[in-house]
Structure 1
Amino acid sequence: MKTAVNILTGLALLIVAFSLIVVYANTHPPRYALHIPPSDHRAAYENVTFETSDGVMLKGWLIKPPQEKPGMPGIIICHGLGANRSDFTDLAVMLARRGYWVLTFDFRAHGESGGSRSSLGYHEQKDVAAALAYLASQPRIDRNLIGIFGFSLGGSTAILAAARTGMFAAVAADSAFTSLREQAREAVTGFYHLPSFPFVNLAVLGYEIYFQTSARDIAPEAVIGRLAPAPVFIIAGDGDEMIPAENGRRLFRAAKEPKELWIIPVAGHGGTIAAAGDEYGRRLGEFFDSHLRR
């Protein structure tokens, strides 16, 4: 009997330990060096630094449009987990050439920014708010004509931050998840191939203790309806196994008009731009043109 109790106790401790390891691994992504600066495209830009409300210093690039004049629109670009601002240099330069000031930056604990851990969308909302304040302070930008684009974690955070601030005139999100709990379930069962119970609940509990918050606060599906009347463009890859396209469909259903949905065939996670080719930049550019031009 004592042996059985010891075995069960040891097994329980292993399950708890593994769940905590999963939380730690996903909130401490490796940092990667920047690549493809805007200068590779001969685009004019500035290295910028701005501070969040909780004192984290963030680094970014402010990419300039070919022609500058007062009252211009701006766009913020948010990368995914474990990436950095240079992942979307091509897209940022393309949007700048359409006549936008584009701010692409590193989230906390990524790239060249400060911070040691990612909260998977909770504190990152402060990063977006700081980026918005910085871009809105630029003299040639109309603060009422600022849009945001994000991928994966960046897309989810863009929705959350837009709902919280009410300051974005247009929101585009690629491969965003519906909620942190659902994403934890997807990771546990799909990536780690483990049973949902008890690993999902333990991972979520570990996250909540670690960040002193509730996972319910990281649920883009629950808040996306607040973005109206700002337009929403939801993009997803039909071959995405990490954040399945059903996340995009659910976000679209929860959003209010005006809204658009684009499910890109075959595209896996991080592969939507490659799968869609030039159509990606064209459709994203047309979305922002439709809603950020006066």
Structure 2
Amino acid sequence: MSDAIDAPVDRPRESRFRLTTADGVGIDAVLLHGTGSRTAAVVLANGFTGTHRSPYTRAIAEAFLPVGDVMTFDFRGHHGSGGRSTVGNEEIHDLEAVVARLRELGYTSVAAVGFSMGAAVVVRHAAIYGGIAAAVSVSGPSRWYYRGTRRMRLLHLGIGRAAGRFFLRSFRKVRVIDRDWDPKPAEPRQLAGEVSPTPLLVVHGEADSYFPVSHATAIHDAAREPRELWLVPGMGHAERAVTPELAVRLRDWIGERIAPGD
């Protein structure tokens, strides 16, 4: 179902959706409309604890509107969506539900841009489901269970202990599973080669405090053409680190690959 939401005159029109994944989870999503009739769309997939309500996500979405309408959403277990977060595994069903709804709405060219956990989901989704016009991984991990930085060690404590999950649920509005993956899904670096022929862009900040640039190069090296790697000096991690200039650069890259002339 969808409900149009009135927005201020200087803001893009929004449509709100409640989607249902193939495994029965409700997903809270918002579609931002540009001007005129569009056949191209961009999906933004947030990082862990992220939300479509974030001002950082909103700014990126509005920057992309010149090349297509933009759908943002909350992954399972996050904020207004149902279920519990699996931290990058079953979330590919969430992204597929969003892409499928855009196709139902008449969009014939859809690109997906993911950040951190969302980047891993975008790579895995593009490799397993296919059918998108372009895939972008920003600040993504190449492998699971990485603990090589302080921030990732703290994150693993948060999702691996009852007290950490209580904190996430109470203060970040994120509900996380309390069991290990069984079976463990293939890692982004193991699936990157299957993204082709979809163009894959890997973007990573040289000042990322979660994942070093070796994660980006591992994904890029495992991918097949067409592929690109952008290592951005001074850039930190995920949505918060995307400057207006980088958003425009990403927009232009996507615009060259989704429905030219729309």
TM range (shorter): 0.7 to 0.9
Aligned equivalents of 2:71, 2:211: Cα separation in 1 = 25
Amino acid at match of 1:191: R
Q: TM-score, normalised by structure 2?
A: 0.81
Matched residue, 2:119: 155
Matched residue, 1:123: 90
Deviation at 1:244, TM superposition (A): 1.4
Matched residue, 1:284: 250
**Are residue 186 (structure 1) and residue 151 (structure 2) matched?**
no
Superposition misfits of 4+ residues, deviation over 6 angstroms: none
Aligned equivalents of 1:234, 1:268: Cα separation in 2 = 15
Native 8 Å contact 2:196 2:226 kept in 1: yes
Aligned equivalents of 1:73, 1:242: Cα separation in 2 = 32
Matched residue, 2:3: none
Q: Secondary structure at the match of 2:257?
A: helix
Tell me which of 257, 266, 269 is aligned to 2:237. Answer: 269
Tell me which of 57, 68, 73 is aligned to 1:105. Answer: 73
Change (3 A) 1:43 1:249: same
Matched residue, 1:6: none
Native 8 Å contact 1:191 1:242 kept in 2: no
**Are residue 43 (structure 1) and residue 12 (structure 2) matched?**
yes
Native 8 Å contact 1:85 1:104 kept in 2: yes
Map 1:98-247; keep pairs closer than 5 Å.
98-115=66-83, 117-139=84-106, 141-142=107-108, 145-181=109-145, 183=146, 185-186=147-148, 191-192=153-154, 210-215=179-184, 217-247=185-215
Matched residue, 1:63: 32
Q: TM-score, normalised by structure 1?
A: 0.73
Native 8 Å contact 2:137 2:202 kept in 1: yes
Matched residue, 1:254: 222
Native 8 Å contact 1:221 1:250 kept in 2: yes
Deviation at 1:238, TM superposition (A): 0.6
Amino acid at match of 1:67: G
Native 8 Å contact 2:67 2:251 kept in 1: no
Change (3 A) 1:278 1:187: closer
Deviation at 1:159, TM superposition (A): 0.5
Deviation at 1:269, TM superposition (A): 2.0
**Residues 82-107 of structure 1, C-alpha deviation per residue, up to 9 Å, x if partnerless?**
111123111111212x1412110000
Aligned equivalents of 2:126, 2:225: Cα separation in 1 = 15
Native 8 Å contact 1:38 1:63 kept in 2: no
Native 8 Å contact 2:134 2:199 kept in 1: yes
**Are residue 54 (structure 1) and residue 20 (structure 2) matched?**
no
Q: Matched residues, percent identical? A: 24
Specify the structure having the higher radius of gyration (Cα).
1
Q: Which has the higher contact order (CA 8 A, sep 6+)?
A: 2
**Residues 185-244 of structure 1, C-alpha deviation per residue, up to 9 Å, x if partnerless?**
33679635x9xxxx9xxxxxxx999255233x1401100111111111111111112111
Aligned equivalents of 1:38, 1:134: Cα separation in 2 = 22
Change (3 A) 1:38 1:76: farther
Aligned equivalents of 2:151, 2:70: Cα separation in 1 = 38
Aligned CA RMSD, in angstroms, stands at 2.6
Task: State the aligned residue count.
Answer: 234
Q: Secondary structure at the match of 2:85?
A: coil
Aligned equivalents of 2:9, 2:207: Cα separation in 1 = 31
Change (3 A) 1:131 1:223: same
Aligned equivalents of 1:101, 1:171: Cα separation in 2 = 16
Aligned equivalents of 1:101, 1:174: Cα separation in 2 = 20
Change (3 A) 1:293 1:177: same
Change (3 A) 1:46 1:266: same
Q: Secondary structure at the match of 2:89?
A: coil
Change (3 A) 1:188 1:99: closer
Matched residue, 2:166: none
